[in-house]
A and B are shown apart, each in its own frame.
Chain A
Amino acid sequence: MLKPLAGCRVLDLGIITAGAATSALLSDLGAEVIKIESPTYHDPFRAWASDEASLRTPEGSPPFFRSNNRNKVGISIDLKQPAGRSAFLRLLAGADVVVENFRRGVMERLGLGPEDLQVIKPDVIALSISSQGATGPDAPQVSYGSTLEAVGGQAYVTGYEDGPPVISGRDLNYPDQIVAIFATSMVLAAWLRRKRTGLGAIIDVSQRDLTSFMLGDLLAAGKAGSEPVLRKGNAEPAYPLQDCFRAADGEWIAVSVTHEQCATVAELVAAPDAGSRPLTAAARTWISQQSSENGIAAFRGIGVACSRVLDGKEILKGKGTLWDHAFISGADGVLLKGAPFAIDRDPLTINRDAPAPGADTRTVLEGMAGYSQTEIETLRNAGVFEAPN
């Protein structure tokens, strides 16, 4: 088994997607992840799509929450109270990484900002993920993935040739997803450095910066004095023909034809010549007369990239062909989010479902922070801890 983060303990204050999903990836890579919520503030993702009672675990977690929090233990301590803060610091003594994605200033007001943590534990790897970074005039703003696409440049370069900028919308929330992969890479880099040097790290990841970084070549182009980048729909310079076309069965198929392939495709679709416009027009007509299956087979048969435009239902059926580890099943058979890559030959499995709030408070605080059960019960009754009866 390849577990790069074997022996690493993560205190996971992450919520919703960016923070919680990062910690989920860290657990996939072998880290022991302790999800920390508060008796007065549970991860808001617990409340998303929570009306689908038939698909909840006995503890009541909806699939979206389960997807970002499987393979974690869960505790609940009120960090606003001195006794709760004290418990956190006792856990910090035996931890390696702290992950959080609260609004800027929340951790600092608790006296648990990255610099505070580093004073207490110099080799800690403190990862903060935020929408717009820890500094700068926009840092305090409320943001969502779609606003970050707007200010990050992604919306500007996405859109039909005759239309406005387009955001990917709340169903995808693209910046939230990719930040989890990037933030995981930063933790791994810090872990590697710590193994070699003993040094900790304070890492501040900005989703807005990442959104722009994913356009780094286009951003460099503008300042290099190149032609302005314009929205061109699905067109790209590398492909004289690239677009989606509707087949006879109503399905959309996506096609990308390189310059070298134009002549061959012109023959296939009976285009009058291999120029971009006549080729596109002929391809549209030809595809509209084919089933999507036949059209795709014909294009692929001559080496042209061509695929049907799928939706989530069709992807669901693609285990073993389209995906292997992007999704994994919980113990109840419900499909949950997996990982974007797998470095371990052993398949990723769910060893424990996402925890209920405070499900493991007693065992974690006793085993890792040295509390007695009597102390835990006293503090639970005082509202500092949350644990099942």
Chain B
Amino acid sequence: MKPLEGISIIEAYGSDCPPALHLAGAFAGRILADLGARVSIAASDGRRLHSMEQSINGTRGLFTFLQAGKIVRPDADNPADTRGELAEAHAAIIDHSLLDDLNAEKLPGPSVVVSFFGRDMRQVPASEFTVLALSGILNLVGDPTREPLRLGGHQVAYAAGLSAATALLGLLCVDRPAEPASQEPVWISALETMIWTNWKSVVGVEIGGDGGKRQGDAAEWQVVRCSDGWIALVYQEADWQRLRSLIEDPRLDEPRFATGAGRRSNAAELARIAEDRFRSFTRAQLRSEFLARGLPCGPVWSLDEVVDDRHNVEREVFSMSASADGSTIPLITLPASWDGKRLQPGLIPAID
């Protein structure tokens, strides 16, 4: 039995729902649908998400990934009907503009409200990019001599979606009506989720840390070139001698590379020396060399290589998922196995 079998969840978004919050809610809904919940989306919300594919990503795939396993329900005619739908479901995922549309602060049942900043700052214009800026994460990535760099993909929206799914599962675990407070919607702040993931930058300040700064090619860990792409050069102090034997360059005998502090201070030069060596190896060859020495191994795979990677194929990380139109597409499954099995995504609904 899938964990959430028999549980019905509604996703509903207001007329002014920012695209990023729609993604956040839809991501949460995808997780819950994979867990067996009956997750329904309004027809108009489905069409809107599908229409966002090109404008948001410039590619297809958004609708497929986020809506797998969900059911499309007809659009409600009016706010009262929407409230009725919310009351009939076990739980709801909404955005704050729907509360405005419903002219409501409370909802009939357990619900999470996805937002950029929480209840009090919901009117402040925002995007995933500006949330990354406020979270400190933007400051950590990229070259210190130029503009900071965002994480690729929709990390802010989907991290907020993780919080939303988790919070909603928490609400479903609470016994009702013993706990009437569980009727209050739980506000999910994308910013607070991202600040929390960047906790080391903040907590570290109190022990003399600098609050987190990007280091570019002076970073201790960074990506270096090899003959057919790149590999992440990642190692701990205990790995150094084995890494040094792989790089096999007499420059690494210099005193400045003799200590961990010295290697960190000369990380850019160390990376260039490693790159000189690695340029004659493919990622696959380097992978073998790294593994033979028990070194952490991070060849940079392209997205197609991720799908086709042997480890992912053997673990059935991707599943050929069916669309309502009869086509199939490899879709990533929920990143957890339950009792030895991956939870398969449901049918990708048709768009009316």
Contacts and interface: CB of A to CB of B under 8 A. Distances in A.
Partners in one complex: yes
A150 B315 contact: no
Contacts of B199: 67, 177, 326-327, 337
A345 to B, nearest CB: 6
Given A155-B223, A233-B149, A181 B166 contact: yes
Contacts of A309: 133, 138-139, 148
A326 B195 contact: yes
A132 to B, nearest CB: 7
Interface residues of A, number: 148
Contacts of B295: 142
B210 A311 contact: yes
A203 B129 CA distance: 33
B253 interface: no
B140 A172 contact: yes
Contacts of A149: 232, 298
A343 B187 CA distance: 8
A95 to B, nearest CB: 17
A242 B306 contact: no
A334 B54 CA distance: 47
Contacts of B89: none
Given A160-B142, A220-B329, A220-B331, A172 B200 contact: yes
Contact of A307 (B4, B35, B130, B312): B130
Nearest to B327: A224
B159 interface: yes
Contacts, number: 486
A212 B306 contact: yes
A298 interface: no
Given A219-B306, A229-B303, A168 B140 contact: yes
Contacts of A216: 30, 61, 65-66, 331-332
Contact of A146 (B221, B307, B337): B221
B336 A147 contact: no
A133 B167 CA distance: 25
A171 B200 contact: yes
B55 interface: yes
Contacts of A225: 60
A237 B54 contact: yes
Contacts of B255: none
A154 B108 CA distance: 39
Interface in B53-83: 54-62, 64-66
B213 A185 contact: no
Contacts of B215: 169
Interface stretch (B39-47, B99-107, B119-127): B119-127
A243 B130 contact: no
Given A220-B61, A315-B195, A206 B335 contact: yes
Interface string B174-199: 10000101101010110111011111
B152 interface: yes
Interface stretch (A85-93, A191-199, A354-362, A366-374): A191-199
Interface string B302-325: 111011011110110110000000
A19 interface: no
A201 interface: yes
Contacts of A388: none
A171 B212 contact: yes
Name the interface size band of chain B: 35 or more
A192 B59 CA distance: 37
Nearest to A200: B339
B230 A165 contact: yes
Given A169-B215, A185-B169, A323 B192 contact: yes
Contacts of B167: 341, 343
Interface string B127-144: 111111111111111110
A112 interface: no
B130 A185 contact: no
A249 interface: no
A206 B336 contact: yes
A218 B302 contact: no
Given A155-B232, A337-B196, 17 more contacts: A49-B207, A55-B207, A63-B207, A136-B315, A141-B296, A158-B149, A159-B149, A164-B230, A188-B172, A189-B4, A209-B317, A212-B317, A220-B330, A309-B138, A326-B195, A341-B164, A343-B170
Identify the 5 closest CB pairs spanning chains A and B, nearest first: A157-B152, A147-B298, A221-B61, A312-B211, A209-B335
28 contacts: A139-B311, A141-B291, A141-B296, A144-B221, A151-B309, A166-B223, A172-B137, A172-B140, A172-B200, A177-B198, A193-B1, A197-B1, A210-B335, A215-B303, A218-B61, A219-B61, A220-B62, A222-B304, A237-B54, A239-B127, A254-B130, A254-B133, A254-B138, A256-B128, A312-B201, A312-B209, A337-B203, A341-B186
Interface of B: 1, 3-4, 6, 19, 30-31, 35, 52, 54-62, 64-66, 118, 121, 124-143, 146-155, 158-159, 162-167, 169-174, 179, 181-182, 184, 186, 188-189, 191-193, 195-213, 215, 219-223, 225, 230-232, 234, 291, 294-304, 306-307, 309-312, 314-315, 317-318, 329-332, 334-340
Interface of A: 2-5, 29, 49, 52, 55, 62-64, 67, 132-139, 141-144, 146-160, 163-174, 177-178, 181-186, 188-193, 195-197, 199, 201-206, 208-210, 212-229, 231, 233-234, 236-239, 242-246, 252-256, 259, 299-300, 303-316, 321-327, 334-343, 345
